[in-house]
Amino acid sequence: MPRLAGLLLALLPLTALAGGTLYKWVDESGKVHYSDAPPLQTPRGLVELNRQGNVTHSVETPQERTAREAREAASQAEAARQRYQARYDKGLVESYQSADELRSERERQLAVQQSILNGLLADRKTLQQNIAQQTRQIEALQKGGKPPQPTLTANLGVLRQQAANLDAAISSRQSEIASQAKKMQADLERYRQLTQH
């Protein structure tokens, strides 16, 4: 009887193969399993077999699928980055006759940004003077034992909010100038590499 059971177990893969797809996997204890339906949990090393018993393809575990999709996404992102870089390089070389021309153009752009920043800094200085003046008026009234007028206090609040907004604009413009200066240097280096000057 045990021999008959063993023979039936040995024939199971062949009968499943005759009917269509067969799945094969090895469990954690090293035991090989065959089935005409995939296991509920996808184990590592799960493969599909055809009628001849040849592996048609490996079945991915969720972790393997996630890892493969991440590799494919990274590969696609790198290919897109390379396409963008190629277009950017082409535009750089075709737009300028020399590194000096590139530097001159970028310095003009930086000068415009610096001019805008200087205007913002001048506005901030004027605003600080107005805040200081309003503050002195309020303090003088308080020292004289008089309450400051509500409009005076409200105006001071508005001026301080304007100063905060202006500070944010100044900080943003300074960051933009620093970024443009850095980009100019990177573009000059890249231009020289591309033109071998």
Which tens digits make up the pLDDT trace of 43-64? 777 888 887 778 777 777 778 7
Q: Is the pTM of this model over 0.85?
A: no
Calculate the CA dihedral of residues 27, 31, 34, 40 and round it to 10 degrees: -20
Query: Can you give the residue ranges of every domain in the chain?
Result: 22-59, 62-95, 98-196
β-sheet with 32-35: strand ranges across: 32-35, 22-26, 47-49, 55-58
Name the residue with tokens 């059971």. Answer: 5
Model pLDDT, residue 15? 46
Model pLDDT, residue 20? 67
Model pLDDT, residue 6? 47
